[in-house]
Amino acid sequence: MPDLIADIEGCRLCAERFARTETGHAPRPVVWFRPGARLLIAGQAPGARVHASGVPFDDPSGDRLRDWLGLERAEFYDRDRVAIVPMAFCFPGYDAKGADLAPPAICGRTWHAQVMERLARVRLSVIVGGYAQRYHMGVTGNVTETVAAWRDHAPRVFPLPHPSWRNTAWLKRNPWFEAELLPVLRAQVREVLDD
């Protein structure tokens, strides 16, 4: 495991790709897992703030995700219990309109099978956003359809929308998410982490 973590941290496969983005940044893999983790948070890719801090979900999206999970920062960032594995370990950058670029597929192809093989103790997977849902759950529908069907996957897997402020309107349109899904998710998180 230490070798794999060091290998990912040293990865520069996307250097040329990132240099061509509007942000023109260099790769900075944000790697946050250890083999004992029981809760997996599978997400999309670091944003600009996380690229700067090197800490996953260290931004308002992370605050919302922690609220959804019922976790304080100390527990959320306990790598021995919580693994945070995005579809790309680096910030993909912005396009000319300032929109987030997609996580580079080469990251999943290069690293994910090796990472998941080593996370054998995971008992609860929280799959955030469409990219991660397609990869980890094999679904083909959109995020709303996938999250609405959460009972088909619970209690070991919970699909979530991205906790970005961009999804605030989505949350208002889908009140069942906070009223029905979140209480079950929080109870499951507690059961897995307290066990």
62 touches ligand SF4 by CB under 6 A = no
Straight-line distance from the first to the last Cα atom of the chain, in angstroms, rounded to the nearest whole number = 24
Give the residue, chosen from 110, 135, 153, 157, that forms a contact with ligand SF4 under the rule CB under 6 A. Answer: 110
130 touches ligand SF4 by CB under 6 A = no
26 touches ligand SF4 by CB under 6 A = no
Nearest to 81 by CA among 31, 37, 126: 37
Give the residue, chosen from 89, 131, 150, 158, that forms a contact with ligand SF4 under the rule CB under 6 A. Answer: 89
Counting runs of H as helices and runs of E as strands, what totals does the chain give?
12, 4
88 touches ligand SF4 by CB under 6 A = yes
Q: Which DSSP state fits 102?
A: P
192 vs 29, 52, 97, 185, CA distance in Å? 28, 31, 41, 11
27 touches ligand SF4 by CB under 6 A = yes
8 touches ligand SF4 by CB under 6 A = yes
Residues lying near ligand SF4 in the complex (CB under 6 A) are found at 8, 11-14, 27, 29, 88-90, 104, 106-107, 110
